[in-house]
Amino acid sequence: MASTIPTSFLTIPCELRNSIYIHVFTPTLTRTSPPITADTSPDPIAQALKPQYDHDAFKSERSPDGQLQVLRTCRQIHNEAHLLAQSMASFHVVGEASHPDAFREQISQLRSTKVSAIRNITITARISKLRAMNEAWAGLPFGNPSLFLDVLTVVPKRPDAIYSAYADIAYHAQAHTLAHTFAETFKGLRNVRTVVVKNEGCFNEFFWGLVYKGVIFRLWNWGGFSCGVRFDEGETEGQEEGGQWFRVWFSDDARGGNDVGHEMHKILGEGKILPEPVVPAPIF
């Protein structure tokens, strides 16, 4: 009687299989190929959120379809690896989807285990839409308690008013609005380890500086030198316009970034005396 012999891959220890899965799903670092998407995946996650790797940090020579094909090999491999694949992808939401109600509708077809497996999300939206972060999220990413993100990337979009005669006024207003939105969000954001904010042609260097300084000053007035939020900033080389970014660290064990007080010294200049934090009095 013929016996069923399992495939060699499924007979190796699960630890080795996991290492192979990680290798398959890890994007290849390169700066020559275009950003990738996985819109054709049959899994419902591809219909709810379009997974793509970060434009600047990760660009893969392998198509995501090729990477995800392994999930179609057999049921066991799919069951073992689909959540891992999902946790290593970056999902992109745009515009209205930054609001909790719209986001909830997008992921309504997903099981809670799949929602919980999402680790990286990128938001691309106009500044008016990003106000939902501090006005509607209630301290949780997209207002969803099932999300535990490693990285939340925010890419503000250029305001329409730049094409009017009042472009400078519009830029000033939008820069202050964005700084207020981020500062208020960062004060109480939970279930997120880091937030990366990217300037992809939204502001010139001067107005981007206003955004970053505005965030730092507001958090200084709120929590002083060490308020539990840490920062670092930089610039992506090779971009004609924009390219600046800053990163916010929330994890208690995070060793990256600088305290708000350190960033205040950078802004004001070494040797300058830091102003006293102006903490608003409680309203009874």
Q: Express each pLDDT in 122-151 by its tens digit.
A: 999 999 999 999 999 999 999 999 999 999
Q: Which residues contact 203 (CB under 8 A, 6 or more apart)?
A: 156, 158, 171, 174, 175, 211, 242
Q: Is residue 56 part of a domain?
A: yes
pLDDT < 70 regions, the chain: 1-7, 15, 22, 25-72, 78-83, 85-87, 160-165, 238-241, 251-255, 271, 278-284
Both 126 and 259 in one domain: the answer is: yes
**pLDDT tens across 52-85, in order?**
444 333 333 334 445 666 666 777 776 666 667 6
How many distinct structural domains can be found in the chain? 2
Q: Which domain holds residue 145?
A: 119-275
Both 266 and 166 in one domain: the answer is: yes
**pLDDT on residue 211:** 94
Both 140 and 270 in one domain: the answer is: yes
* Mean pLDDT over each residue of the chain, to the nearest integer: 76
Q: Is residue 66 part of a domain?
A: yes
Q: Is residue 103 part of a domain?
A: no
What is the distance, to the nearest Å, from the Cα of residue 200 to the centroid of all Cα atoms in its chain?
Answer: 14
**pLDDT on residue 26:** 67
Q: Is residue 110 part of a domain?
A: no
Using CB atoms within 10 A of its CB, is residue 166 exposed (0-12), middle (13-18) or buried (19+)? exposed
pTM of the model: 0.74
**pLDDT on residue 195:** 95
Q: Which of 69, 90, 111 is the C-terminal boundary of a domain?
A: 90
Q: Is residue 21 part of a domain?
A: yes
Both 70 and 176 in one domain: the answer is: no
- Strand-pairing partners, residue 62, are none
Alpha carbon separation from 154 to 24, 114, 230 (Å, rounded): 27, 22, 17
**pLDDT on residue 49:** 45
Q: Which residues contact 193 (CB under 8 A, 6 or more apart)?
A: 149, 150, 151, 249, 250, 251, 254
**pLDDT on residue 176:** 93
267: phi then psi, degrees, rounded to nearest 5:
-70, -45
Both 68 and 157 in one domain: the answer is: no
**pLDDT on residue 267:** 85
Q: Which of 70, 90, 110 is the C-terminal boundary of a domain?
A: 90
- What is the residue whose two structure tokens read 């305290």? 259
Q: Is residue 71 part of a domain?
A: yes
Q: Which of 90, 110, 143 is the C-terminal boundary of a domain?
A: 90
Could you give the CA distance from residue 165 to residue 169 in angstroms, rounded to a whole number? Answer: 9
Both 128 and 83 in one domain: the answer is: no
